[in-house]
Amino acid sequence: MAQNANDYTLLEKPLMIDTLLTILGVSLYIPFLIQLCRTRWTCTTWSRRLLQLSVMLQMTSLFHLPSVMYCCAGLQLVILIMYWLVERPAFRWTSFMVMSLLYVVYFAVAILWSPLPKRGGQFLIDNGLPMIGYALTASIVPFSKDEWTSVMKTFCYAGLVFIGLALVSWGASMWELHVAPQDWPMLRKEKIGDLESYRWLLRCNGGLMGYAHPSYDLLPVFAAACIGMWLGKIRVLHPSVSWILWSGSMVLTLLSQSRMGLTYAVIVLVFGVLYFLPTLRSRLITGIGIAVIGITLLTATHGIWKPYSEDPIRGQLYSYTWRYIEAKPWTGAGTGALNPIEMCHTIDELYWPHVGFIAPDKDISDWRWKTHMLPHNQWIADWAHAGIGAALVTLLLYLCMIVECSRKRIYWGLVFLLIFIIFSCLEPPLYIGKGLYLFGSLCAFFHAYPKCEQ
């Protein structure tokens, strides 16, 4: 056993602790199981209750392993189709359905000029099918306001469990590494025992070498904090739950050294304070005060944040991608063909960040499917993937969600969309399972939610 963090190596990985924490990670589903036990089944509503529970389960799985999330999403789609066949609910066209179809059709057409059409078809299955599935949910789901709030309440409770599991993992890791809480690095992007800090924090999702990505793992927690504030204001949850979710997300952000998480935590805090104020006048005065204080603090501490915000790899990816877009602005790579080999061949480069040497004679089909290393921007990635049309379709999809939230006065949805838009400027979330499924789940809610907030 390592005596300190510096001489800890992967060869000494504690399999027993990883196993115990992975088993403990299943407790994420306790809120869902409680709702399952409380569900009342009748001959006339069983299919509706089954559909509601499948949505709860799928949203809970957003905090868990991607493989479990995919299985739960597939189960939800099967139950949705079964419900449609049994109950024959009315179908209604929504902007989400229209934009999802346009998204899928555009990328389907872009297969025509793709040098890897089979992978293009795989992209449509992996990314287009979930989008259509969530849009279908919005078009036929018959849930009432109480049923939707029950789904969201379960999601918030699962977020609390996730925060607790991450803190337990952190405590176990500190004990194992003999590191005191005050010695844990924060906001310095330092490794601990030759591993990134977030791996120690998120090891309940499959162990140290399991799935761990702080930007995507923490995104559902911030969504739960936004939803918790809405549920607290309409008295479905106690208001303290939302602030516990926010505090927990802030703590996990600091412990995982996530730069994006810090931005999201500030956004949720500011809009949360304004959301709970009773009058427009008090919100304006408070908002101006927060803006003045925030600008002052940022100006005074600019030197502290500048090194933390620097990311030369991201800058290099942007540079390479823009050069690629200049070479193929209208068609891009073609659906399924965007990878570092294709991009390096096009822009005459022999190196790709975090990949290494790219031989000039290397075939683009040699790049493993699902190994992305795409440009860290959703719209730039779309543009390079299938031309400028793909970027415009995604932009319209986001705008439709903003219009829907504004029309129905779903204020917490607007806050989440602000976070997701900022995230999309720094990552391609619609190409990553956790980002795509979270976005689809909440967009389905925006369109299916029956009433505006008062």
CA distance 153 to 52: 13
Give the tokens for residue 147.
């049923």
According to the model, what pLDDT value does residue 87 have?
A: 86
CB-based burial of residue 414 (10 Å sphere; 0-12 exposed, 13-18 middle, 19+ buried)?
A: middle
Residue 80, strand partner residues: none
* pTM tops 0.85, yes or no: yes
* CB proximity list for 267: less than 8 A, separation 6 or greater: 415, 418, 419, 422
CA distance 192 to 195: 5
Residues 20-54 have pLDDT tens digits of 888 998 999 999 999 999 988 888 888 889 999 99
Which of 101-110, 195-204, 257-266, 274-283 ranks highest by mean pLDDT?
A: 101-110
CA distance 383 to 266: 30
Give the tokens for residue 93.
């066209």
The three-state DSSP-derived secondary structure of 407-426 is HHCCHHHHHHHHHHHHHHHH
According to the model, what pLDDT value does residue 309 have?
A: 59
Question: Which has the minimum average pLDDT: 192-196, 197-201, 414-418?
Answer: 192-196
CA distance 140 to 91: 5
Mean pLDDT along residues 392-403: 94
Query: Minimal CA–CA distance to 112: which of 400, 387, 423?
Result: 387
According to the model, what pLDDT value does residue 307 have?
A: 57
| Entry field: residues in the chain | 454
Mean pLDDT along residues 208-217: 84
**Alpha helix positions (H), 39-144:** 46-60, 66-87, 95-109, 117-123, 129-140
pLDDT of residue 104 exceeding 70, the answer is yes
